Structure formats: C-alpha cells, structure tokens
Amino acid sequence: QLLHFCLLLGISLAALLGNGLIISAVACGHHLHTPMFFFLLNLALSDLGSICTTVPKAMHNSLWDTSTISYKGCAAQVFFFMFFISADFYLLTIMCYDRYVSICK
C-alpha cells in the first residue's frame, strides 16, 4: 500500500508541476495572451481540478488501508470529476475549432 501511495503521490505531483508551469507561463507571459493560450490555461486548470477530485481520496485510502467512502462524498466526487472531464472535452473542441479557423485564414 505504501508503494501505491508513493506512485499516486508521484503522479499527482508531476501533474501539479506540469499544469502549474503552464498556468504560470501563460499568466506571466504577456505575449501569450492569445485565444489559444487562454484555452490552454483553462485546460490546465480543468486538468488540475479533475486530478484534485479523485487522487487525494485514493491516496488517503491507500495510506490508511481503507476502502470506504460516504454516499455524499462519492456523489460529490463523481459530480466534480464529470464536470471537469466534460469541461476538458469542451475546451479541446473549442481549441480544435480555433486552430481550424487560424489555419484556414
């Protein structure tokens, strides 16, 4: 279980670091204030949301050797995870359309 916890910790820290770098680069770089980078910033935020929805509870369960979750906690986790995943799909669709328009013009 400790190996599982360390694996989840490494994956979540790598995701937090990667998305944090994208967020800070887009927020601080004034030449990156274009529609594509705006959508990339929102995609990174949505990805952080989906990671922070599920991974902490999985890490807690792995570390304390439990597998229980309350009904309200499960419902909230499923709702937020589906919200962030659907936001990812919508943002990817908008980003594809943005690239299509910029290539065609």
When pLDDT is cut at 50, 70 and 90, the band that residue 88 belongs to is very high
Which residues make Cβ contacts (< 8 Å) with residue 80, sequence separation at least 6? 49, 53
Could you tell me the two tokens for 70? 């309350």
Which residue ranges form the domains of the chain, and what is each CATH number? 2-104 (1.20.1070.10)
As a whole number, the mean pLDDT across the chain is 91
Predicted TM-score (pTM) of this structure: 0.83
CA distances from 100 to 36, 37, 55, 86, 92 (A): 11, 15, 34, 21, 12
Is a pLDDT exceeding 90 seen at residue 34? no
What integer pLDDT is reported at residue 51 of this predicted model? 92
Residue-wise pLDDT for 45-80, tens only, equals 999 999 999 999 989 888 888 888 889 999 999 999
